[in-house]
Amino acid sequence: MRKIIHIDCDCFYAAVEMRDDPSLREVPIAVGGQSGRGVVTTCNYRARAFGVRSAMPGGEARRLCPELVMVPLDMPRYREVSRQVMAIFRELTDLVEPLSLDEAFLDVSEVETFQGSATLMARHIRQQVWERIGITVSAGVAPNKFLAKIASDWNKPDGLFVITPEQVDDFVKVLPVEKLSGVGPVTAGKLNDRGLQTCGDLREAGEAELVRLFGKQGLRLWHMAHGRDDRPVVVTRVAKSVSVERTFSRDLPGKEACQQVMTSLVDDLHRRLERKGSHKPLHKLFIKVRYSDFSTHTLERVREPGPDAMPVAGEFLPLLDELVTDEHRPVRLLGVGVRFREDSAPITQLRLFE
Ligand code: TTP
Ligand code: MG
C-alpha cells in the first residue's frame, strides 16, 4: 500500500502578490487581465466570493466585482517561490513529481521520519511552507494519486484531508463522477445522461458497459470507481548530487570523533541513494564540516574508479583528513555526499519538459 501526498498552493500567484504587498491582503484581487483583452489567470478567495474565476476576461471580472484590484503578472517571482516550495517538499523525499508551478505529488511510502505517518508529514510541510515562505498550501493524503489530488481540493484553502486505505471504499462510493481525473463536462454529461452520477453508479453499470461506452477511458473509470490507481509518482528532475549531514546535539571534540561517526553517516548516505533508486555512475565525493563557530568548509574530489557502486566510509576518510587541519577543533556538523556524472540524455528531456 503506497502513501501519496498531493500538495497544491492556494490561489498561488495571488498569494505571492498578497504576501509581498500587505495592502492587497484585505481586498479582492485578480492577477493578470488588466489590459483590454487580458484574462484573469487567478484571483484570491475574496474575489472568488464575487464569482471571479481563472480564465475569465478582465472586463467580466470587474463587472462582477467593481472594487477588484488588478495586479500584473510577475512570472519570474512565481517561479522563484515555486522553486522554494518544491525544495521544502524535497527535504522530505526525492520522489517529488511537480505537475505545475504550484502543485506536486510526493510518494512518501518509504519515508521513515514522522513515524512514517503521511498525515504528520503533510502537516509538517504545510507548516513549513507557511512559516518559511509565507503562503498557504492545501494537502491531500491517500493511497494513490487520483485520490490524493481529490483530497487536496477537499478542504481548500489552507486545508488538509486524509483518505486512509480503510476509508477509500466509502469515500469513493458516493464520489460524484465529475471529481474523477479526466472526466470533464463532456464525459460527465454523457455519464449523467445514463443516470450515472457517482462512482457507486459506475460500479453498478459494470466494467463491460463502461468499456463499451468509453473504450480505454472506460476501463480507467472502472478502476477509479473502485479507488484504484496504479500510476507511479514520476520524478522528472535530474538530481546532480545526493548528500546527508548531521548536526550533533553536542559538538564532536575533534577529528578522531569525526572519523568514528563516518561509518554511520555513510550508511545514511547509502539509504538515501537507495531511496532515490539512482544507479547513475558517481563522479565525485564531497565532505562538509561546520565548526562550533559556524564556519563551514567543504572539500570535493573526483572518485577513484573502484569495485564498489556505493561509496564506502574509507573513501571519505582521506577527504576528512585533508579538510580538518586542526585535530582538536570542535565540530558541530558533518556531511558527506556524492555528485553524479553528467548524463546528457535525461537533462535534454528535462529541458523539453520545462
Ligand atoms: P491552480 O492551482 O489551478 O489555481 P490557484 O492556485 O490560483 O488556486 P487554488 O489552487 O487555490 O484553487 O493554478 C495555479 C496557478 O496557475 C494559478 O495561481 C495561476 C496559474 N493559472 C493560469 O495561469 N491559468 C489558469 O487557467 C489557471 C487555472 C491557473
Ligand atoms: Mg493552486
Claim to verify: residue 8 and residue 149 sit in the same structural domain: yes
Q: Classify residue 325 by its DSSP letter.
A: -
φ and ψ at residue 218, rounded to 5 degrees: -60, -40
- Residue finishing a domain among 123, 139, 164: 164
What are the residues whose beta carbon lies below 5 Å from ligand 2 (ion)? 8-9, 12, 102
How confident is the model over 118-150, as pLDDT tens digits? 999 999 999 999 999 999 999 999 999 999 999
Pocket test for ligand 1, best of 7, 8, 10, 12 (most atoms within 8 A of CB): 12
The pTM is what?
Answer: 0.72
User: Does residue 202 lie in a domain region?
Assistant: yes
CA angle 111/140/215 to nearest 5° reads 105
Q: Could you tell me the three cell numbers for 176?
A: 460524484
Ligand 1 atom nearest to CA at 13: 18
Claim to verify: residue 80 and residue 41 sit in the same structural domain: no
Q: Which residues are catalytic?
A: 103
How confident is the model over 208-240, as pLDDT tens digits? 999 999 999 999 999 999 999 999 999 866 677
Ligand 1 atom nearest to CA at 31: 19
Ligand closest to Cα of 54 equals 1
Distances in whole angstroms, Cα of residue 173 to Cα of each of 6, 44, 72, 225 = 21, 32, 43, 7
Which residue reads 504528520 in cell numbers?
120
Note down the domain range covering 292: 241-340
Handedness of CA 199, 201, 202, 206 (dihedral sign): positive
Q: Across all residues in the chain, what is the average pLDDT? A: 91
Write the residue with the smallest CA distance to atom 18 of ligand 1. Answer: 12
How does pLDDT run along the chain (354 residues), one tens digit per residue? 999 999 999 999 999 999 999 999 999 999 997 766 689 999 999 999 999 999 999 999 999 999 999 999 999 999 999 999 999 999 999 899 999 999 999 999 999 999 999 999 999 999 999 999 999 999 999 999 999 999 999 999 999 999 999 999 999 999 999 999 889 999 999 999 999 999 999 999 999 999 999 999 999 999 999 999 999 999 866 677 889 988 898 999 999 999 999 999 999 999 888 876 666 788 899 999 999 998 889 999 999 877 778 899 999 999 999 999 999 999 999 999 999 886 534 433 343 443
Claim to verify: residue 157 and residue 271 sit in the same structural domain: no
Which residues are near ligand 1 (CB < 6 Å)?
8-13, 41-42, 54-55, 102-103, 156-157
- Residue finishing a domain among 73, 100, 115: 73
Claim to verify: residue 96 and residue 58 sit in the same structural domain: no
Claim to verify: residue 104 and residue 191 sit in the same structural domain: no
Distances in whole angstroms, Cα of residue 176 to Cα of each of 14, 48, 162, 205 = 29, 23, 18, 15
Q: Tell me if the bond preceding 28 is cis, omega within 30° of 0.
A: no
Measured between alpha carbons, how far is 10 from 109 in angstroms, rounded to an integer?
25
Query: Angle between the 216-225 and 207-214 helix axes, to the nearest 10 degrees?
Result: 140
Claim to verify: residue 141 and residue 264 sit in the same structural domain: no
Claim to verify: residue 263 and residue 128 sit in the same structural domain: no
CATH number of the domain where residue 62 is located: 3.40.1170.60
Claim to verify: residue 251 and residue 301 sit in the same structural domain: yes
Give the other-Cβ count within 10 Å of 216's Cβ. Answer: 8
User: Does residue 346 lie in a domain region?
Assistant: no
Claim to verify: residue 8 and residue 25 sit in the same structural domain: no
Number of structural domains the chain divides into: 4
Helices (H), 24-144: 45-48, 58-64, 75-92, 118-133
